[in-house]
Structure formats: structure tokens, C-alpha cells
Amino acid sequence: MRKLVVLSFITLDGIMQAPGGSEEDPTGDFKHGGWVFSYFNDVLGNVMDKQMSEPFDLLLGRKTYEIFAAYWPYEKEGLIANSLNNAKKYVVSKTLTKLDWQNSNLINNNIPQEIRKLKEQDGPALHVHGSGNFIQTLLRHDLVDELWLKIFPITLGKGKHLFAEGTLPVAFKLLETPISSNGVIIASYARAGDIKSGSFEQDKPSEAELRRRQKLKEER
């Protein structure tokens, strides 16, 4: 079975919308597009080159496919351009009927089942870029094996979040965490089973604690 990897640029408050430019995705009157630009340096460039140097297939939502298909086919040089243009692409959309970017295949029905079938096939890892709405489906159905995150030292307050409602309570383990000179945390995680919980509660709760618990029950 091959891995499904989500590669995402996110802010400290978990926003992933329009990191690359002001016109990338202004949905919801988002005004901060291009927030990655001033932080991008050789360290991040080398990390991206490394992560995209191995063979992979692309798995994209409709909006990210349209963004990529309007940009990368016209970039003919560089490792990232070559990797994306040559990769086999799977595009999840219920509205698209034609895909012009080379090596693109449409998935428009039974999305979770079709993704599971893709994962069960032989082949390279499946890389997901952008695709905020589609990622929620992947997380809700526990289809993500690894998260390759670049966490930028800013907050935006408003925008599309990587982890939205419907995300399952699951555990991840940290694989690596280099940090760039300007404070970008490059954190890669792999799925690690279920949540393991415990408690720091007293063996014998105080009367004040019992009253607090009772108050919470009454407020539900």
C-alpha cells in the first residue's frame, strides 16, 4: 500500500489559504494571499526540492488543480516544475468534465472508496498540495498517512484551516523538525494509531471539584 502525504504551508493559527499570491484564492474576502513569499529562502527551497525529488503521483482538489494547471505547465525549468508536470495526477471534482494538464485523471464519484483503491495500488506516494476542502474529506475518513508541514510564524485570524470540523481524533508521531533561520518550522508527522489519554485528577476529588463537575453537567 502506498502512502498518502499532505504537504501544506500553514500559519500558527492553522490557516492554509492562498500562501502563494493575492489572486490564488480570495474566497471569503481573504486579503492576505501571498503570506509565504517573504519567508521563503534557500532552506525552504532545499526542503521542497528534497520532498519532491522522489517519484510521486498528485492528488488534488478542483480549485488547486485549476491553480496548478494555469501555472506549472508554463514553467518549463526546475525540479519542482518538472516533477509536477511529469507526475500522474488524480483530480477530485464533481464539476470538472475536461482536464487539460497532461497525465490528469478525474475522480468524481465515491471519493473515499476511490482514494482507498488508489492507496492499495502499486506505485509511488500520493502527494496532496493545497486542496483545503478535499483534505477535510481525507481527514474525516482517516486516509492521511503523513503530514509534511511548513509552519510560518504569523497569525491571520481568518481563512481556510488545515484542520476544520470533522477531523478525527487520531495520533501522529514527529519524524523531523528542522527550523529555518527566519523561524519557519518544517515539521513532518506520520500516523501513529489512536489517541492515548490519561488524567492528572486527584484519586479523591475535593468537594469543590465535585461541585464544579455538577455545575458543568447542569450547564450542558
Question: What domains can you pick out in the chain, each with its CATH number?
Answer: 4-219 (3.40.430.10)
Query: Which has the closest alpha carbon to 191: 126, 150, 147, 133?
Result: 147
pLDDT score for 32: 96
As to burial, measured by CB atoms within 10 angstroms (0-12 exposed, 13-18 middle, 19+ buried), residue 194 is exposed
183-211: pLDDT as tens digits = 999 999 999 999 999 999 999 999 999 99
Other beta carbons within 10 Å of 84 = 22
pLDDT score for 76: 81
54-64: pLDDT as tens digits = 999 999 999 99
Report the chain (220 residues): mean pLDDT per 10 consecutive residues: 97 96 93 95 92 95 96 91 96 94 95 96 96 94 97 96 91 95 96 93 93 94
- What is d(CA 46, CA 29) in angstroms, rounded to the nearest whole number? 33
The answer to whether residues 191 and 170 touch, using CB atoms and an 8 Å cutoff, is: yes
pLDDT score for 177: 94
